[in-house]
Structure 1
Amino acid sequence: PFTAAAYLNASGISVVADYDCYYVRYRENRNNLTLTAAGLAHRVDGTRLCFETVARYLEPGPRRDQIMRRHVEWELCGPLRALLPRESERDARERFFPEFRHWARTYVTDALFQRLDAPDRLLIHLLRADRFDDVLTVARNAERDGRRGHLVDKGRVYWLHPFFRDHAAAVPDVCFDVTDRLPVRHHLESAGWQGGVLRLAGHAYIEDVDALDPATEIVLRKYRADRPEVRVPTTPCLPAHPLPGEERRYEMAGFTAEIDPATADDGAPLERGLWNVHLDVRAQGVSRTVRFGGHREGGEATHPARRRVSTPQGPVVVVPYFTPYGNLSLDVGEVAHPVDPPCQVLRALWRTRSTLLVGGRLTDEAVREGGTLRLRAEGGTGTVHEVPVRCEPGGSTTVFTARLPVGRLGTGRWTLTLVMDGPGEDAPCRTAVVPHLGRLAATRWLRFGCRPYYAKPVALGPARALGLDVAPIKVVTGVRRRLRR
């Protein structure tokens, strides 16, 4: 009750993760309560306190349901299945069942009920209905019934428990629906360019659903954009590699797909930006959507290079890349003038707490052509802040430095680039990404002499461009951190 109350009421929680700070040593006689509490008598009071603590500090709603779900699964349904059948029938009926029934009726909302796995939903339904004998039957046979198969019906998958559609049991189908819980197995076998088209090959299937009438689609969703998704059909085929033990059941789980960036968006080119690749895996009318690319072949088979693609609006460069979680994404960027960057960034450091210094060297071509170099910070709303760059000879090359007053930037995320105008009015503009070099730490400063702000460096996109998240520090949070130190 003490730690839980602290968690539920804290405005911030810090995690010590750079060394081990919790150690366990069992008693020599092994009489720890956690090892010897084999019956419900040792658990009921603690379980009751779990539920009451959460109810005391959280108002009804999604956050409370999220915490309650853990207790329903681990403190209610788990012990009920494992321990209730071990008790005498009298204790089970008169002492423990009323407590479990009270928790199910009081703390399991309808929204939480829908988020539980099917075996837990069945138990909660029976508890709410005050059906002690059926609860005991389900608990006693839980291990055996858990291995029963599934039925596909009208695009939904149901657990074939003995109570399923048994008129005498009278349990609604929702207690057995496992459609959204079935694992999706998928694998990216190859990815490569054929002209201006990205061709993907792999396999995907929903576990325990025969791959009959497959209609899997590639789904492209633009990162942090409120716009309709783009769907690309796939062509079913045999998997490139046999699936061990499942050849017949999932023999049509293979697929190929072609993503044409020039026409993928219902005949129009893909918009500029980052697109995440998903799979909508379909078979027998059952549909599950998952992120794609996390499971793939090694080597260069699934690492296509960037490709310049022609579109009616002009050329674009498409960069397939894998996120830190290993999933496939596409970076679609405009290339109005395919020119080389004018400079190379070698360092980025804090000159003062609120001034960022960016330095490097110009390319020989940029020195010959001339032009004006500027450091640009662009906000998420389109706001641009630019500062001039100082260039001077540095041995055999020309070096540059720029000082960006980060303290003058507004709240939000800012992307940094270096921009050089050409020597003529119609000359192309050259740009260079300021990279996230990994050594730049976050900084803090006082704005107007009293308001604390911070800037946190972040790496953006496959090019790992340097971005700055700028925001005020909550005064109360800052004071607490200082006191902890």
Structure 2
Amino acid sequence: MAAPAVSVIVAAYNAMPYLTRCITSVAEQSIGQGELEVIVVDDGSTDGTAKELHRLSGVYPGLIKIFEQANSGGPSAPRNAGLDHARGRFVFFLDADDYLGPQALERMVAMAEKNGTDVVLGKMVGVGGREAPASMFRRDQPKTDVFSSRVYWTLNPMKLFRRDLLERHALRFPADLSIGEDQLFVGPAYLNAAGISVLASYDCLYWVQREDEGNITLRTGGTEPRLTFLPRVVDMILENVPPGPGRDHLAHRHLTVEVQQLLEHLVHEPRLQQEKALARLAETLAPLWHEGLNGRLSAMARLRLYLVRHTMLDELLALARFEEELARSAVSTPVIVDGGRALARYPFLRDPDRAIPDHCYDVTAQLGVRHQVSRAELRGTTLHLTGHGYLHRVATEDVSTELVLRERDTKEEYRLPVAHTMTPGLGADKDRGHYRYEKAGFEAAVDITTAADGSPLRDGLWDISLAIGAQGITREVRIGSKRSAAVSGKAATHIVGTAEEPRAATLYTTHPHGNFTLDLGERKHAVLPHLGLDDHVRWASDAPTELEFTGRCTLASHPNGALVVALRNDRGDSASFPVSATGAAFVVRVPVDGLPAGIWNGELRLGDWALPLPTLPGDLTAAKWRRRALPWYAKPAADDEKSFALHVARTDFVKAMTRRINP
């Protein structure tokens, strides 16, 4: 029998009524039952799980393999038992509480096969209030690794693994742990994988919060189980990853997530146990944490680790209570600004009895930058921008905001002043109105002919940012992603008149972030696609000597009179006729009875941009008129059928009479 593509392993313990939806979601996968085997290990359930499994086995004959065992007390043993029986090229671990999106396995297998990867993370969606990991699912990543992505921030095993990877490295879940066993399985799998894929564009796994809070991963508490597995995780990192940025990248996760979770449990334990637990934690983290990591960590994480390193138990307990209250509050922690740095008012800030260094409170790099654009438009050669921008929690005093134009490829940069405007009441709808930003407004008028230190901006893609400054702190942010409803992000191409020559300028927003960029010189937005001429050319119905052209111009603006039909004949004469536009559509009339004799060619012209006029139809009747009492005519030139060619001439009486006599 051919091996299936995927073995889905389900560890089930008192999983009713969730089990039914779980197994059904697997059985009905779009990949097809012929590519599946479902291995369910009943870990000593007492709630009817076994009965439901046997019923489902009858509904899906030949698909489900059921193994029963005495309760092991955790998910490791049933998962290992399932893995021992798996035959698929890939393995997917699924908790009995959760369920899959209909195409999850088909899409994940396809991604692994296409990119030659050993692990695939499918996007997780929280259900029933359960919070799912998100930072690693911002975009699809066909092939990445544990060091250059955020995949290490999710260490649960609900992922697709190439079974050969697991068998080659003898990876199994440690059965002696009640918590953290998944980290000691997934971590080595990540580190040994030939590549890791992230499927973020499809909801693969629905991660359910049980009403009885009986999820396997939520049942254990206290510091002891965490202090049992954490040293083994630290050892796993130290043994497999040499010192340097890679190790620091992995350490970051444990120095924030695990430490915070452990301290949340620490506050509820007896004093003696607290002291012992803190000493063990400090010893465990010592080989992993060094001062060079501080730049990666939040101020709160730096403060926690400083207190752990110095075993300052009372201060840690106070900090844990502060964090608990902060989580309930709708107000962010205030800051003080000193010497161009923002320090959060966390417990013991500049307390002389504790002497905790300021860097443990420095949130300058973490300050939220908030902005909105209320006007963004080109008028002539001037770009007009208005809106507001401020640093969260920093009062708008000594405001020093500037507009920044930076060319994307060359990094050429110009900083331009803005007018600071009042914004009364701004901030009242956030943080319970605790912070106000009364002078956060800005107005800028950027003339592209002088913005480069008095000279014109060069052709290029000029990304637009604000360097928002207040009280000596400056943070830069691209603007446009937050804009009022009246401000369009649609690309608008203008032809603007300058002293030298007309220039193409397009204001547009980037995809997917939606920030404003000014395109000068058609780097991404060509002019000619905005101009078009219809093929049908005719004599005007109300003026039989006026040749009528119709077309479209979808440019946002162009100089008055610049769009014309330009004609030139074989004798060096020229003539031009302005476009009369109604919205995007336009009509151009060429009165041929005023043209000198000759063969006329032409184009639709706007500065240096030109489109050839459409070819005149061969059956177009000749226009006739009198000039100084003499007969003239205009008709398609007989010797040019591939381009616009109009023959204007005075009627030759001799030839005309000859044609009449000898028709």
- Specify the TM-score bucket, using the shorter chain as the normaliser: 0.5 to 0.7
1:35-434 alignment, distance < 5 Å = 35-76=218-259, 78-94=260-276, 96-144=277-325, 148-225=333-410, 227-239=411-423, 243-245=427-429, 249-300=436-487, 305-310=492-497, 314-324=501-511, 325-333=513-521, 340=528
Aligned to 2:122: none
- What displacement does 1:271 show? 2.5
Give the superposition deviation at 1:151.
1.0
Give distance in 1, aligned partners of 2:294 and 2:235. 18
Q: Distance in 2 between matches of 1:304 and 1:21?
A: 35
Which residues of structure 2 form unaligned runs of 5+? 1-183, 533-550, 552-566, 569-601, 612-663
Q: Deviations over 1:128-171 (max 9, x none)?
A: 22333433333344334786522111211111234111111111
Hey, what does 1:390 align to over in structure 2? none
Kindly tell me: are residues 25 and 139 of structure 1, through their superposed partners in 2, closer, same or farther at Cα, counting changes over 3 Å?
closer
Work out whether residues 390 and 396 of structure 2, in 8 Å CA contact, stay in contact via their aligned partners in 1. yes
Distance in 2 of aligned mates of 1:308 and 1:240: 38
> Could you report, residue by residue, the CA deviation over 1:331-375 in whole angstroms, capped at 9, with x for unpaired residues?
11169xx9846999xxxxxxxxxxxxxxxxxx9xxxx99xxxxxx
1:9-20 residue pairs with structure 2 within 5 A?
A: 9-16=192-199, 20=203
Is the contact between residue 428 and residue 435 of structure 2 (CA under 8 Å) also seen in structure 1?
Answer: no
Change (3 A) 1:41 1:321: same
After superposition, the Cα gap between the structure-2 partners of 1:266 and 1:56, relative to the gap in structure 1 and judged at 3 Å, is: farther
CA RMSD of aligned residues (A): 3.7
Q: Which amino acid aligns with 2:275?
A: R
The answer (yes or no) to whether the contact 1:339–1:430 under 8 Å persists in 2 is: no
- Superposed displacement of residue 242, structure 1: 5.3
C-alpha contact 2:421 2:443 (8 A) present in aligned 1: yes
Are the equivalent residues in 2 in contact too, given 1:148–1:159 (CA < 8 A)?
yes
Could you tell me which residue of structure 2 aligns to residue 480 of structure 1? none
Q: How far apart in 2 are the matches of 1:229 and 1:319?
A: 19
**How far apart in 1 are the matches of 2:209 and 2:397?**
53
Contact 2:460 2:521 in 1 (8 A): yes
Q: Which residue matches 1:458? A: none
Residue identity opposite 2:505 in structure 1:
V
Give the aligned residue type for 2:283.
H
CA contact (8 A) 2:393 2:435 kept: no
Aligned residues of 2:426 and 2:437 also touching (Cα < 8 A)? no
CA distance in 1, matches of 2:335, 2:515: 30
Contact 1:81 1:142 (C-alpha < 8 Å) held by counterparts: no
Supply the AA of the counterpart residue of 1:322.
Answer: T
Q: How many residues align?
A: 353
After TM superposition, the structure 1 stretch with the greater mean CA deviation from structure 2, 300-309 or 153-162, is 300-309
Contact residue 262 and residue 269 of structure 1 kept, 8 A: yes
Higher relative CO (Cα under 8 Å, sequence separation at least 6) belongs to 1
Structure 1 alignment gaps of length 5 or more: 345-362, 370-421, 432-485
Task: Return the offset for 1:190.
Answer: 0.7
What is the identity percentage for the equivalent residue pairs of Structure 1 and Structure 2?
35
- Matches of 1:24 and 1:300, distance apart in 2: 39
- Distance of 2:527 and 2:464 partners within structure 1: 29
User: Does the 8 Å contact 1:218/1:279 carry over to 2?
Assistant: yes
Pair member with larger Rg: 2
1:2 to 185, 210, 231: 185
Counterpart residue type for residue 321 of structure 1: Y
Given the superposition, is the C-alpha separation of residues 44 and 210 from structure 1 closer, same or farther in structure 2, using an over 3 Å criterion? same
After superposition, the Cα gap between the structure-2 partners of 1:233 and 1:176, relative to the gap in structure 1 and judged at 3 Å, is same
Instruction: Identify if the C-alpha distance between structure 1 residues 138 and 266 changes in structure 2 by more than 3 Å, giving closer, same or farther.
Output: same
Query: TM-score by structure 1 length?
Result: 0.64
Q: Quick one: structure 1 residues 102 and 202, their matched pair in 2 at CA, closer, same or farther if it must change by over 3 Å?
A: same
CA distance in 2, matches of 1:84, 1:291: 42
Q: Note the C-alpha offset of 1:301.
A: 5.6
Separation in structure 1 between the aligned mates of residue 340 and residue 242 of structure 2, nearest angstrom: 36
Is contact 1:189-1:301 (8 Å) kept? no
1:428–1:137 distance in 2 versus 1, CA, 3 Å:
closer
For residues 2-34 of structure 1, the C-alpha deviation after alignment (integer angstroms, 9 at most, x for no partner) is 322222333422334565543556789754442
Query: What secondary structure, in the 3-state scheme, does the structure 2 residue paired with 1:306 have?
Result: strand
Question: Larger deviation: 147-156 or 9-18?
Answer: 9-18
Per-residue Cα deviation, 1:299-326 (whole angstroms, up to 9, x for no partner): 4566573222355664421111111111
Q: Using a 3 Å threshold, how does the CA distance of structure 1 residues 19 and 298 change in structure 2: closer, same or farther?
A: closer
